[in-house]
Amino acid sequence: MNIEQLDHVAIHVADVKTSLEFYVDMLQLKVLPRPDFGFPGAWLAIGSHELHLIGDREKDANSHHRGTHFAVRVSDVEEVVQRLEACEIEYIRKLRPDGAKQIYVLDPDDHYMEFCQPPQ
Protein backbone atom coordinates (compact mmCIF):
# COMPACT_ATOMS: atom_id res chain seq x y z
CA MET A 1 0.00 0.00 0.00
CA ASN A 2 1.28 3.45 -0.90
CA ILE A 3 -0.58 6.35 0.71
CA GLU A 4 0.35 9.41 -1.32
CA GLN A 5 -1.15 12.27 0.69
CA LEU A 6 -4.18 13.49 2.61
CA ASP A 7 -7.01 14.04 0.13
CA HIS A 8 -9.72 15.73 2.20
CA VAL A 9 -11.23 16.29 5.61
CA ALA A 10 -15.01 15.95 5.95
CA ILE A 11 -17.12 17.50 8.69
CA HIS A 12 -20.85 17.35 9.32
CA VAL A 13 -22.61 20.72 9.42
CA ALA A 14 -26.16 21.64 10.38
CA ASP A 15 -26.62 24.25 7.66
CA VAL A 16 -24.38 24.33 4.56
CA LYS A 17 -25.25 27.97 3.77
CA THR A 18 -24.19 29.15 7.24
CA SER A 19 -20.98 27.12 7.04
CA LEU A 20 -20.18 28.53 3.59
CA GLU A 21 -20.59 32.06 4.94
CA PHE A 22 -17.94 31.21 7.57
CA TYR A 23 -15.47 29.30 5.39
CA VAL A 24 -15.86 31.31 2.16
CA ASP A 25 -16.86 34.82 3.22
CA MET A 26 -14.84 35.05 6.43
CA LEU A 27 -11.93 32.64 5.93
CA GLN A 28 -11.76 33.11 2.15
CA LEU A 29 -11.67 29.45 1.08
CA LYS A 30 -12.60 28.72 -2.54
CA VAL A 31 -15.66 26.61 -3.46
CA LEU A 32 -14.92 23.59 -5.66
CA PRO A 33 -17.27 21.68 -7.96
CA ARG A 34 -19.15 18.89 -6.12
CA PRO A 35 -21.15 15.98 -7.58
CA ASP A 36 -24.82 15.72 -6.64
CA PHE A 37 -24.83 13.08 -3.92
CA GLY A 38 -28.52 13.60 -3.15
CA PHE A 39 -27.79 15.36 0.15
CA PRO A 40 -26.59 18.91 0.89
CA GLY A 41 -22.91 19.71 1.05
CA ALA A 42 -20.04 21.67 -0.40
CA TRP A 43 -16.38 21.13 -1.23
CA LEU A 44 -13.76 23.78 -0.47
CA ALA A 45 -10.08 24.13 -1.40
CA ILE A 46 -7.47 24.27 1.36
CA GLY A 47 -4.20 24.55 -0.55
CA SER A 48 -3.89 21.30 -2.52
CA HIS A 49 -6.36 19.55 -0.19
CA GLU A 50 -10.10 19.78 0.33
CA LEU A 51 -12.59 20.39 3.11
CA HIS A 52 -15.90 18.60 2.52
CA LEU A 53 -18.96 19.97 4.27
CA ILE A 54 -21.67 17.35 4.71
CA GLY A 55 -25.07 18.87 5.46
CA ASP A 56 -27.94 17.92 7.73
CA ARG A 57 -25.89 17.26 10.88
CA GLU A 58 -28.25 16.19 13.64
CA LYS A 59 -25.84 15.26 16.45
CA ASP A 60 -23.59 17.68 18.34
CA ALA A 61 -20.04 18.15 17.07
CA ASN A 62 -17.37 16.52 19.21
CA SER A 63 -14.45 18.92 18.95
CA HIS A 64 -11.77 20.41 21.19
CA HIS A 65 -8.65 22.40 20.34
CA ARG A 66 -6.53 19.69 22.02
CA GLY A 67 -8.65 16.87 20.60
CA THR A 68 -10.68 16.54 17.42
CA HIS A 69 -9.84 19.41 15.08
CA PHE A 70 -8.25 20.04 11.69
CA ALA A 71 -5.31 22.30 10.99
CA VAL A 72 -3.99 24.37 8.11
CA ARG A 73 -0.45 25.69 7.78
CA VAL A 74 -0.03 29.43 7.33
CA SER A 75 3.03 31.60 6.78
CA ASP A 76 1.99 34.33 9.23
CA VAL A 77 -0.50 33.85 12.07
CA GLU A 78 -0.66 37.63 12.56
CA GLU A 79 -2.36 37.94 9.15
CA VAL A 80 -4.87 35.32 10.33
CA VAL A 81 -5.45 37.28 13.56
CA GLN A 82 -6.08 40.47 11.57
CA ARG A 83 -8.64 38.69 9.38
CA LEU A 84 -10.37 37.05 12.35
CA GLU A 85 -10.57 40.33 14.25
CA ALA A 86 -11.91 42.14 11.17
CA CYS A 87 -14.66 39.50 10.96
CA GLU A 88 -15.20 39.58 14.74
CA ILE A 89 -14.35 35.89 15.10
CA GLU A 90 -13.14 34.82 18.54
CA TYR A 91 -9.93 32.79 18.67
CA ILE A 92 -7.52 31.05 21.02
CA ARG A 93 -3.80 31.78 20.67
CA LYS A 94 -1.25 29.09 21.64
CA LEU A 95 2.50 28.61 21.39
CA ARG A 96 3.62 24.99 21.00
CA PRO A 97 6.73 23.88 22.94
CA ASP A 98 8.63 23.65 19.63
CA GLY A 99 7.85 27.31 18.85
CA ALA A 100 5.03 26.82 16.37
CA LYS A 101 2.34 29.51 16.66
CA GLN A 102 -1.26 28.31 16.71
CA ILE A 103 -4.62 30.04 16.38
CA TYR A 104 -7.82 28.08 17.02
CA VAL A 105 -11.33 29.10 15.93
CA LEU A 106 -14.73 27.49 16.20
CA ASP A 107 -16.87 27.23 13.08
CA PRO A 108 -20.68 27.64 13.23
CA ASP A 109 -21.03 23.94 14.16
CA ASP A 110 -18.43 24.05 16.95
CA HIS A 111 -15.69 22.29 14.93
CA TYR A 112 -12.25 23.57 15.91
CA MET A 113 -9.97 24.69 13.10
CA GLU A 114 -6.31 25.44 13.74
CA PHE A 115 -4.07 27.84 11.86
CA CYS A 116 -0.45 26.80 12.46
CA GLN A 117 2.72 28.75 11.67
CA PRO A 118 5.72 26.41 11.84
CA PRO A 119 8.65 27.29 14.12
CA GLN A 120 11.06 29.80 12.61
Inside any domain, residue 1: no
Question: How far is the C-alpha of 107 from the C-alpha of 110, rounded, in Å?
Answer: 5
Count of domains observed in the chain = 1
Listed in sequence order, the residues at least 6 apart from 5 whose beta carbon sits closer than 8 Å to its beta carbon are 48, 49
Of residues 83 and 2, more confidently modeled? 83
pLDDT at 39 over 70: yes
Q: pTM for the full model? A: 0.86
Inside any domain, residue 104: yes
Inside any domain, residue 29: yes
Inside any domain, residue 40: yes
State mean pLDDT over 15-38.
95
Tell me the DSSP string of 25-65: IIT-PEEE-----SS-EEEEEETTEEEEEE----SPP---T
State mean pLDDT over 1-20.
89
pLDDT confidence of residue 3: 66
pLDDT at 66 over 80: no
